[in-house]
Amino acid sequence: MSNHLAIATVTASLARYLQGAVGADVGNAVVTAVRPDGPNSGVPEVGVNIFLYQATPNVAWRNHDLPTRRPDGSLNQRPEIALDLHYLLTFYGDETLLEPQRILGSAVRALHTQPVLTRQEIRSAVAATAFLAGSDLADEVETVKFTPQPLSLEELSKLWSVLFQTTYTLSIAYDASVVLISADSQPSMAQPVLTPVIQVFPSVTPPAPAAPNTLAGLQLWLRGDADITYDSTGTISQWSDQSGGANHAVQPTAARRPQLVRAAVGGKPAVRFDGVDDYLAIEQLNYAAAGAIDGLTLFALVRTTAAQAQTLLSFDRSAYWSLSLTGGGSAGRARWSTQPQVGAIHDLDSPGSFADGRWRLLCARFAAGATVTKQLFVDGILVAEANAHPGQNVGSGATRFGFVGAPSQAATFNGAIGADLFRGELAEIALYDRALTDGERDRVEQYFVEKYG
């Protein structure tokens, strides 16, 4: 969460980033951030102007901080508002030299190549701008992403009509999301209980926790708090497998590496994927036989706010299996996909969305010989089940290697991937080559409860 300088910091950081991009492509181009009301408004003769024309509540984060106050009116937690910022980028220059169009091409290329406002760029903009001293946008849990908006001719006409007696200039609109702004006030401590009320309930003993490596069949165990290789900026090149099978998750390409986030959940680290090009390829572990899987259990502790379709762990849903989150109108639903030996892919979806910024423990289970072959649990609760492709194991017979954070299409290690990359954080993953019993699943879930709270 950020202070009141967050909006101005986004604008200044965007201007600084675009100045480096368009200045390199069109040498005399200048980036400004003023109201585009004509030649005397301060817009450049050659360059691009950034104009924040509207701010709206972010749908995914709206009201997530409620309730902020207790019944007595005291502050329970810091109020926080989540905003989407709507920018109009206008382009200026000599039309005979097509300078506005050249600058437009440079700007959209830069924002498509890197649609995320990096923390380093934010810190550089704050350091270079005196009135932004004290801005803490770089420490916000969510990075700011830029998305082009396809405004119709009617929408553009209405927007330009706000700018009195200003002729239309070549322009494009972008949304910046999400900016979290919180109050400076601190919650007060709850008062002690004056009159205790004692109630007696039947004793319920939770199951004894079982660390993943204490149960048979563990194939892959990735922990945010164990054996991660990263550089001085926190980018991760290897997430080492703790199962004993050396099925490490690696990323040889520096630009595609996820980020280590310290104290992300329960005081322990997690791995953050940007949803643009971050993912990890799993070494050694692969499938290459029809019907190779008669049982499988997967646990993943995950957090996201993204409404896009995204993949957590995959060995190709059209060849073996994948665990993902849906996009579109049903955004944020957990999806457990399996490919039987014969027939069509089966998708088992949760009934509700989990793209709410809260940590969730997802558990997917498959048992070929069970009455109910597929089950999906969220936070220890069974949310969906189906008797999918009864009598069949999982696996088409194609050779497939796996990925963390990307849909697999790979017949070789670190091969082809699909488009729906994960945007969020993963704290821990445990994969078994068999269907755990209900008792075993309860014990592993209790391990997560006691470890992360």
Q: What is the DSSP string of 206-227?
A: PPPP--GGGSTTEEEEEETTS-
Instruction: Tell me how many degrees the CA angle 408-321-305 measures, rounded to the nearest 5.
Output: 70
pLDDT band per the 50, 70, 90 thresholds, residue 109: very high
Distance CA 319, CA 287 (A): 9
Distance CA 244, CA 213 (A): 9
**Which residues, in sequence order, are bridge partners of residue 380?**
none
Q: Which of 13, 11, 18 is nearest to 111 (CA)?
A: 18
Structure letter (DSSP) for residue 380: T
Give the pLDDT of residue 345: 96
What b-and-e string marks burial along 8-43, b requiring 16 or more CB atoms within 10 Å of the CB?
Answer: bbbbbbbbbbbbebbbeebeebbbbbebbeeeeeeb
Q: What is the CATH number of domain 214-452?
A: 2.60.120.200
Q: Residue 217 in contact with residue 247, Cβ under 8 Å?
A: no
End-to-end CA distance of the chain: 22
Residue 264 CA to residue 228 CA, distance in Å, equals 15
**pLDDT at 185 (0 to 100):** 62
Measure the CA–CA gap between 426 and 102, rounded to whole angstroms: 41
Residue 449 sits at φ, ψ, to 5 deg, of -60, -50
Write down the pLDDT at residue 15. Answer: 95
Residue-level pLDDT at 253: 96
Specify the pLDDT at position 76.
60
In angstroms, rounded to a whole number, what is the distance separating the alpha carbons of residues 433 and 266? 28
On whether the CB atoms of residues 335 and 352 are closer than 8 A, the answer is no
pLDDT at 297 over 80: yes
Cα torsion angle, 346, 352, 356, 358, sign? negative
Check pLDDT > 70 for residue 355: yes
pLDDT band at 20 (very low <50, low <70, confident <90, very high): very high
Residue 82 in this model has a pLDDT that exceeds 70 = yes
Question: Residue 398: its pLDDT value, please?
Answer: 96
Q: What's the rounded mean pLDDT across residues 55-84?
A: 74
Using the predicted structure, report yes or no on whether residue 94 has a pLDDT greater than 90: yes
Mean pLDDT, residues 310-338: 94
**Model confidence at 67, in pLDDT bands (50, 70, 90)?**
low
Q: Which of 279, 221, 295, 247 lies closest to 448, judged by CA?
A: 221
Looking at per-residue pLDDT, the higher value among 400 and 188 belongs to 400
Q: pLDDT by residue (tens digit) across 110-151?
A: 999 999 999 999 999 999 999 999 898 988 878 899 999 988
Tell me: cis bond preceding 178? Omega within 30 of 0 counts: yes
Task: Give the model's pLDDT for residue 14.
Answer: 95
Query: What integer pLDDT is reported at residue 242 of this predicted model?
Result: 96
pLDDT band at 190 (very low <50, low <70, confident <90, very high): low
Of residues 423 and 62, the one with the higher pLDDT is 423
Query: Which DSSP helix (H) or strand (E) runs through 274?
Result: strand 268-274
pLDDT at 315: 97
Q: Which helix (H) or strand (E) covers residue 119, if one does?
A: helix 119-128
**307 has pLDDT over 70:** yes
Q: What percent of the chain has pLDDT over 90?
A: 73
pLDDT band for position 198 (50/70/90)?
confident
The average pLDDT across 24-41 equals: 86
Domain boundaries, the chain: 6-182, 214-452
DSSP state of 191: P
- Over range 232-256, report the average pLDDT: 95
- Whose tokens are 């924040």? That residue is 52
> Helices marked H in 26-118 — which ranges?
99-113
CB 173 within 8 A of CB 86: yes
β-pairing verdict for 360-367 and 280-287: unpaired
CA angle 319, 215, 387 (to 5 degrees): 40
b/e per residue, 179-193, with b = 16+ CB within 10 A?
bbbbbeeeeeeeeee
Count CB neighbours of 51 within 10 A: 22
pTM score above 0.75? no
Task: Judge contact between 326 and 310, C-beta under 8 A.
Answer: no
Query: Is the CA virtual torsion 391, 396, 400, 403 positive or negative?
Result: negative
> Quick one: average pLDDT of 377-402?
95
| Average per-residue pLDDT for the chain | 91
Asked if residue 351 lies in contact with residue 384, where contact means CB atoms within 8 angstroms, the answer is yes
For 392-431, give the DSSP string: --EEES--EEEEESS-B--SSTT--B-S---EEEEEEEEE
Residue 40 in this model has a pLDDT that exceeds 80 = no
| Residue with the two structure tokens 């070494």 | 283
Comparing 11 with 352, the larger pLDDT belongs to: 11
pLDDT band with cut points at 50, 70 and 90 for residue 70: low
Cα separation, 61 vs 139, in Å, equals 18
User: What pLDDT score does 39 carry?
Assistant: 62
The residue-averaged pLDDT of 424-434 equals: 97
pLDDT for residue 167: 82
| Beta strand ranges found along 288-398 (DSSP E) | 290-293, 295-303, 310-314, 321-325, 333-338, 346-353, 360-367, 374-378, 381-386, 394-396
Predicted confidence band of residue 189 (pLDDT cuts 50, 70, 90):
low
259-265 and 30-32: which strand pairing?
unpaired
Residues in the chain: 453
Question: Which residues are CB-contacts of 63 (< 8 A; sequence separation ≥ 6)?
Answer: none
Residue 77 has a pLDDT of 64
Distance CA 330, CA 324 (A): 13
Is the model's pLDDT at 59 over the cut of 90?
no
